[in-house]
Structure 1
């Protein structure tokens, strides 16, 4: 199969061939393969460790930094809002920087995806609303608890920007929706040495795949990469767990091959990389 012929979707195709989530299909399946990881290092440790354990080489180039907002500022914001019936966390960053401030509310907690749910539960809280499948706003909005929300107060905990679909749909269903922004995402500022290392690795063909977990990550990556490095990036294959990322990649990096992974969990991403690498 020619992975460079354009976008290839692995999600949903041949489901029976995939091992259960959490299982890596091969401990040597990435031998000789270089993978560029674009999330901040503290958020990509499991993915990086899995790539290395499978024999691959990790090139870490974070596209952005996460800066949490002052907790006192967040709490002042909360006092000006009506007490929520439902609090929605849209990411692990939202949990890390906002969960402590909203624990006092007697509200149902919703999580957009499994990683966000895990972060909440790891802090001792119960997640009441989460998608049975999928890991985005569209899937969360299908949950029964979010259908009849007329007159209910919904608080969405997120960064300084993001998709509006969740809030817009809940408002259409009659909910009163407020945002609480608990962190900012700022483009990473690479050093000249980091840029030189990246361009060298790309130019020498040592980076076979680049993993991008969100549209915001991709936008920051394109913003901070020099034009020469961005041009060289087209020689790699971009692997992402969301169709919106692939669509954005085709717009921002025309010509780059893209592959849709079945999910954002580290084992799932690693298994996708292994299958691509072994298929050639």
Structure 2
């Protein structure tokens, strides 16, 4: 009799403990989901690349304000990259600097027409995924932090391996010169296939910036940073911009933010991936409002 009562009491206590654990788990999940609640986050990526990050922000309770500072457009003279693509089989290596370079570059090549003997290299995971989606496996990938500097540390791109090799770099018009210049210094024969251009988006002409809703701005390129400040109508808007913290993806960009006179310390994500940017937002959520 006493044993039965004790067993019932033990079972009841177990149920209570289990329910408390479930309640704590639900509370933790709720708290996690609310870490960005009330934070309007301006995502400046081109619209076709902003959707995934916007969904991740909204899943954490934030408001994603998708207003790009860069638009991706076709090059003005498509015959120039086409002429390079037509002799693609002569190259020893093709490097793609971005997912945009993959999408636009393979548009010139044609699906399924990539020369089997020309290996490809990717800067960043998103670029490698874009290549894989097109059926191309990256022979060389940049290690963390997944940028040009990191790619240049790989064994396949050192002078003893790359000297005398013909390398084509798929990129946008006027992209960074570091990768090509370094490879040329190491003895490679470098050609640029500029397959897209970056332009200012049209929305700024008709859509006001919702300043009252913006708590933080995500910028993922140096050109985007320049465009962001260049899009301001007057000194009053530029001053307002300088009072908002920016999330950037490299220490180099962090230095540019300071040079532009931003009053809030920049938040540096470990890399350009959506996951890294979201982690930076979550880690620094308490300081998303900068009082200056």
TM-score range, shorter chain: 0.7 to 0.9
Q: Find the counterpart in structure 1 of residue 15 from structure 2.
A: none
Contact 1:65-1:185 within 8 A present in 2 as well: yes
CA distance in 2, matches of 1:259, 1:208: 13
Which of 94, 104, 111 is the aligned partner of 1:97? 104
Q: Find the counterpart in structure 1 of residue 197 from structure 2.
A: 184
Contact 2:35-2:61 within 8 A present in 1 as well: yes
Tell me whether 1:136 sits opposite 2:147 in the alignment.
Answer: yes
Contact 1:187-1:223 within 8 A present in 2 as well: no
Following TM superposition, the consecutive aligned residue runs of length 4 or more in structure 1 with deviations greater than 4 angstroms are 70-73
The alignment's TM-score, normalised by the length of structure 2, stands at 0.79
Tell me whether 1:60 sits opposite 2:71 in the alignment.
Answer: no
Q: Classify 1:231/1:189 alpha carbon distance in 2 versus 1 (closer, same or farther; 3 Å).
A: farther
Number of residue pairs matched by the alignment? 250
Q: Find the counterpart in structure 2 of residue 232 from structure 1.
A: 240
The alignment's TM-score, normalised by the length of structure 1, stands at 0.83
Radius of gyration: which is bigger?
2
Structure 1: gaps (5+ residues): 1-24
Compute the RMSD of aligned alpha carbons. Answer: 2.1
Tell me whether 1:28 sits opposite 2:28 in the alignment.
Answer: no
Deviation at 1:83, TM superposition (A): 1.4
Q: Find the counterpart in structure 1 of residue 45 from structure 2.
A: 39
Larger RCO of the pair (alpha carbons < 8 Å, separation 6+)? 1
- SS across alignment from 1:185: strand
- SS across alignment from 1:26: helix
CA distance in 2, matches of 1:217, 1:59: 16
Contact 1:188-1:224 within 8 A present in 2 as well: no
- Structure with the larger helix share: 2
Deviation at 1:132, TM superposition (A): 2.4
After the TM superposition, which residues 54-203 of structure 1 pair with which residues of structure 2 at under 5 Å, given as runs?
A: 54-69=60-75, 73-79=80-86, 83-102=90-109, 103-105=113-115, 106-147=117-158, 148-195=161-208, 198=209, 201-202=210-211
